[in-house]
Amino acid sequence: MSAPASRRRPIAALEWLGERSTHAFEEIGRFFTMLYLTLYWAVRPPFDLRQWVRQMVRVGVDSIPVVGLTAMFTGMVMALQTYRGFERFHAESFVASVVSLSLTRELAPVLAALMIAGRIGSSLAAELGTMRVTEQIDALQAMAVEPVQYLVVPRVAATTLMLPPLVALADGIGIAGGFGVAVGLMDANPVVYWEKTFQFLDLNDVFSGLIKAAVFGLILSVTGCSKGFHTTGGAEGVGRSTTAAVVMASLVILLSDFFLTKILF
Amino acid sequence: MMESPTTPVRTPTAEMRPKIAVINLWKSFQGKEVLRGINLDIHPGESLVIVGGSGAGKSVFLKHLIGLIQPDRGHVIVDGEDLACADTGVCLAIRRKFGMSFQEGALFDSMNVFDNIAFPLRRHTRMSPGDVAARVRECLALVHLDGVEHKWVNELSGGMRRRVGFARAIALAPEILLFDEPNTGLDPITAAAIDRVIVEMRDNLPVTMVTITHDMKSAQRIADRIAMLRAGQILAVAPPDEFVRLSDRYIQSFLAGEPYPDNHEEVA
């Protein structure tokens, strides 16, 4: 005789919870396995420099417009918002410092990483996912080529190495955007604004932002590659992996941002 | 298991060490047993064709031979070395003995035909660009393809893709060639042309060949021995002329293309 519906409901809820937990632990396991394999194969020959350079151009150079635009408008909005706010207690002279500090320490690394997660994380998952479902990864293995070494290492290395320069560029463009708005729209004194930009900014602020960027690059690329690598279920599976890669990478970036900020500052 | 009492020309003697020995191979996916204790010897220089219905475990079995899938239990011994026990370096070295052609070709779509075939040569040898080009042309000639070097994968027909896949598989002159459903989804004329290429490779190259297919005509054309895989087990192994005379009801239904009353295989 089957259990009454009222008794089945908690069991079903527990089953659901169990399944979700198992799935979450599986994902975490896959991420760290992929990270370990990437580090393992990164230091073993052959080193495919051509692939590294190709991926660095794809991640770095090709992402300059999207990261630059994001940084510029963020800097402009920051200047606009803080100017209006600080005006209320006559602290307009601190706008430049707030803009430069918040951009270098927080906004440029996080926003650039989120933009790259959307642009590169998704494409890594789609590319590797398609290769998985069309047996191209199996073909690599059959040719005695280690797919993590050939496909994942250059992509992860390129993303991890290119995120810091992109963020450095974003810092500069964001600060310039803030300067443009403050001086052009708010009639701030350009000389004073420029001085105040660097008055409270030290190298540690910039470097810690760049360290964050490298960690975010590692996270988003390993997530994208791991999701792509474990794709199943044809074209639909590739779609699922792509979406999951972006969502997961974005969440982990925001989560790790908190802990990194706590450690670095 | 039924084994032929007679020895055809290409079937090696019993004393010869098998090129690949499959011992008690078991594999299941999500609780479903796909391979259930397979034992099979593949002899040097022979062309073994494994036939079976959809979901019989043919592709899974083939992928075990090259270590793309690890067994739950059992062993795959290649030239005396156990693939399951081998460490990564040894495993890669064993894999270099293989060339594998995939069902849809599995060609790299980011490369043209030339780069696809040159890929294993550039990766594993120190051949000069001139030698690589010569070898690529030689491999393409073996599969009767000329003037397609600079075509992209999406510009090729299904039959051409398979043949480029063959050319890539033989580029490194492997000792063992694996073919995964080489003519599935092709029209009969193209399928026959593909079979002809495989037969030529069998006759002209010093290789051991394992092909999986569900096409009996193709199996008879290219096989020295045919093995029937059913529900994860080897039902029979015999040379083609004897295979067709086996009295097993399932085999006779398979040969005649008739429905089999208790066929529960088509689930995977």
Average pLDDT of the residues of chain A: 93
CA torsion, ordered B207, B210, B216, B218, to nearest 10 deg: -40
Name the A residues in 178-197 with CB < 8 Å from any B CB: none
Alpha carbon of A134: minimum distance to chain B alpha carbons (Å): 6
Q: Which residues contact B156 (CB under 8 A, 6 or more apart)?
A: B107, B113, B148, B164
Which chain A residue's Cα is nearest to B92?
A144
In a domain, B244, yes or no: no
pLDDT score for B267: 39
* Domain housing B110: 105-173
Q: Which residues of A touch B88 (CB under 8 A)?
A: 146
In a domain, B161, yes or no: yes
pLDDT score for B268: 37
| Closest Cβ opposite residue A144 in set B107, B108, B124 | B124
In a domain, B51, yes or no: no
Would an 8 Å CB–CB cutoff place A136 in contact with chain B? yes
Q: Which residues contact A7 (CB under 8 A, 6 or more apart)?
A: none
pLDDT score for B66: 93
Alpha carbon of A240: minimum distance to chain B alpha carbons (Å): 21
pLDDT digits (tens, 9 = 90+) for B135-167: 999 999 988 888 899 999 999 998 899 999 999
| Closest Cβ opposite residue A138 in set B106, B108, B124 | B106
Residue appearing with tokens 């089999």 = B260
Confidence of residue B266 (pLDDT cuts 50, 70, 90): very low
pLDDT over 90 at B112, yes or no: yes
In a domain, B8, yes or no: no
Q: At CA A191, angle to CA A188 and CA A192, rounded to 5?
A: 65
In a domain, B7, yes or no: no
Would an 8 Å CB–CB cutoff place A138 in contact with chain B? yes
pLDDT digits (tens, 9 = 90+) for A19-38: 999 999 999 999 999 999 99
Which chain B residue's Cα is nearest to A136?
B106
pLDDT score for B131: 96
Q: Are A74 and A111 in contact (CB under 8 A)?
A: yes
pLDDT digits (tens, 9 = 90+) for B42-57: 999 999 999 998 888 8
pLDDT score for B9: 40
Q: Are B91 and B67 in contact (CB under 8 A)?
A: yes
pLDDT over 60 at B5, yes or no: no
Would an 8 Å CB–CB cutoff place A146 in contact with chain B? yes
Task: Report the pLDDT averaged over residues B243-267.
Answer: 78
Count of domains observed in chain B: 1
pLDDT score for B197: 86
| Closest Cβ opposite residue A134 in set B95, B104, B120 | B104
A135/B106 Cβ within 8 A: yes
pLDDT score for B1: 44
In a domain, B245, yes or no: no
In a domain, B154, yes or no: yes
The CA-atom distances, in angstroms, between A78 and each of A22, A75, A92 are 42, 5, 13
- The B-side interface with A (CB below 8 A) comprises 63, 66-68, 88, 92-93, 95-96, 98-100, 102-104, 106-109, 119-120, 123-124, 168, 172, 178
Amino acid at A60: G
pLDDT over 70 at A119, yes or no: yes
Residue appearing with tokens 């670095």 = A264
Would an 8 Å CB–CB cutoff place A142 in contact with chain B? yes
Residue pairs spanning A and B at CB distance below 8 A: 52
**B104 versus A169: which is more confidently predicted?**
A169
CA torsion, ordered A122, A125, A127, A133, to nearest 10 deg: -140
Task: Report the pLDDT averaged over residues A152-170.
Answer: 97
Alpha carbon of B9: minimum distance to chain A alpha carbons (Å): 30
In a domain, B240, yes or no: no
